[in-house]
Amino acid sequence: MATVTLINNETNQKFDFDIIECTRGPKAVNFSKLFETTGIFSYDPGYGSTAGCESTISYIDGKKGELLYKGHKIEDLVKKYKFSDVCKLLISSELPSNEQESLAFDLELRHRSFLHEGLINLFSALPDGAHPMATLSSAVSVLSTLYYDHKDMEDEDDYQTMARRIIAKIPTMVAFCYRNAVGAPFIYPDVKRSYVENFLYMLRAYPHQRLKQTLNGEEEITPLEVEALDKIFTLHADHGQNASTTTVRNVASTGVHPYAAISAGISALWGPAHGGANEKVLKQLNEIGDVKNVDKFIERVKDKNDPFRLMGFGHRVYKNYDPRARVLKSLKDELDKKGIKMDTHLSEIAQKVEEVALSDDYFIQRNLYPNVDFYSGIILSALKIPTHLFTPIFVIGRMPGWCAQLLEHIKNPHARITRPRQVYIGK
């Protein structure tokens, strides 16, 4: 086995560490016994050079700008499969083998999408105008009281029930968060509608079961809208050991209820450096206000004395165009052509921001490209999704990934509690 030798220049001692071959991507050095063998530990704030686990779920090639779920390219999954198929792939490692299986899984999710009536009291207790991410994190935590038996899961059936239950309920919870925030009565799921259509229905329908009169003045939910949102969910379904997934794994490593770990993941996703960026992108595009202001705006972003950042740009792993952003950019243009009209003004500003940034030395030297959040907001707005629901939409998309990662962690008999050290610099 290939090794890396570490030489301590103070003591002249040499230590060998095994190199691990990954099935794809760069190799890793196994430093798990670094402290025990050398008495020294590693320092890596932000974990930029550290793997915290082995995983088979998603793979990112940051140089090429490639993302795979269980070995499948996201571009292929978006083209050929529904989001509910991708959920099945992530939590059970298999895509449905035919249309019947695909429908059966979607139907199971629809039937599991209803919420315990007790949970409705929680939504009602929170103020109108509450940010849906705060409500959502609390509501998912409350789910652990309603399904306490998932605390001690024993077999694959238990794992699947836990994962399918929360994947099914999360769109209902997001819709209820929204309706609570605007003071509108809750709309219960309709099992005749597919997983994704059902979500749009619960958001839009006014108290009557028909969609004739809706909150947004819309008459119908079109298949094109359902398809667009379905693709957006798929593009968010998993993404390696990002901050929220790492949070889910860290919290799960203590042996807590899985929904408590997922609630913590939702809180981690809320921040603007992570999933909260999609909301901020739209705010920034509106603040820029006109293509003629883009150059000045970019100058501000580059000012090292100003902590201001261009939202929807940059990524820890991608040093190339984020493949999710590429798909979203062409989806935006395709939908616009097919009749879901994008905000032309904001689209032009976004296009100009991208052009200016990608030809600027500051961005070129740092490999800063548009990420998944840069174009998603423009599409979500065209789908009449309010801005404060953008990050909750990310939550719906990421739920199968969190479940898969959590299950991978708890099924691993060698997984340990997450417990990093610190470089102590105090008194």
Cα–Cα dist 347/357, whole Å = 15
Count of beta carbons in the 10 Å neighbourhood of residue 396:
25
Binding status of residue 273 toward ligand CMC by CB under 6 A: yes
Binding status of residue 371 toward ligand CMC by CB under 6 A: yes
Stretch that binds ligand CMC, among 103-111, 175-183, 267-275, 418-426 (CB under 6 A): 267-275
By beta-carbon proximity to ligand CMC, the closer residue of 136 and 143 is 136
Residue number of the CB atom closest to ligand CMC: 314
Region 20-49 residues binding ligand CMC, contact defined as CB under 6 A: 46
By beta-carbon proximity to ligand CMC, the closer residue of 74 and 368 is 368
- Smallest gap from residue 41 Cβ to ligand CMC (A): 22
Coil, strand or helix at 66: strand
- Smallest gap from residue 34 Cβ to ligand CMC (A): 24
Asked if 369 contacts 358 with a C-beta cutoff of 8 angstroms, the reply is yes
| Positive or negative: CA dihedral 112, 253, 52, 278 | positive
Pick from 96, 373, 401, 404: which binds ligand CMC (CB under 6 A)?
373
- Smallest gap from residue 48 Cβ to ligand CMC (A): 7
- Smallest gap from residue 150 Cβ to ligand CMC (A): 27
- Smallest gap from residue 416 Cβ to ligand CMC (A): 26
Burial of residue 56 (CB within 10 Å: 0-12, 13-18, 19+) is: exposed
Task: Give 245-248 contacts, CB < 8 A, sequence gap 24+.
Answer: 245/398, 245/401, 245/402, 245/405, 246/47, 246/52, 248/402, 248/405, 248/406
Binding status of residue 242 toward ligand CMC by CB under 6 A: yes
Binding status of residue 245 toward ligand CMC by CB under 6 A: no
Among 373, 388, 409, 414, the active-site one is: 373
Binding status of residue 310 toward ligand CMC by CB under 6 A: yes
Pick from 112, 151, 316, 319: which binds ligand CMC (CB under 6 A)?
316
Coil, strand or helix at 360: coil
Structural tokens at position 105 = 């899984």
Cα–Cα dist 27/55, whole Å = 14
Binding status of residue 390 toward ligand CMC by CB under 6 A: no
Asked if 165 contacts 116 with a C-beta cutoff of 8 angstroms, the reply is no
Indicate the angle between helix axes 372-382 and 323-338, nearest 10 degrees.
20
* 106 included as an active-site residue: no
* 230 included as an active-site residue: no
Among 315, 333, 388, 414, the active-site one is: 315
Binding status of residue 80 toward ligand CMC by CB under 6 A: no
Cα–Cα dist 108/254, whole Å = 30
Q: Match 């002249």 to its residue by tokens.
A: 12
By beta-carbon proximity to ligand CMC, the closer residue of 156 and 287 is 287
Binding status of residue 282 toward ligand CMC by CB under 6 A: no
- Smallest gap from residue 275 Cβ to ligand CMC (A): 5
Structural tokens at position 387 = 């801005």
* Interacting residue ranges for ligand CMC, rule: CB under 6 A: 46, 239, 242, 273-275, 277, 301, 309-316, 366, 368, 371-373
The residues that are catalytic are: 315, 373
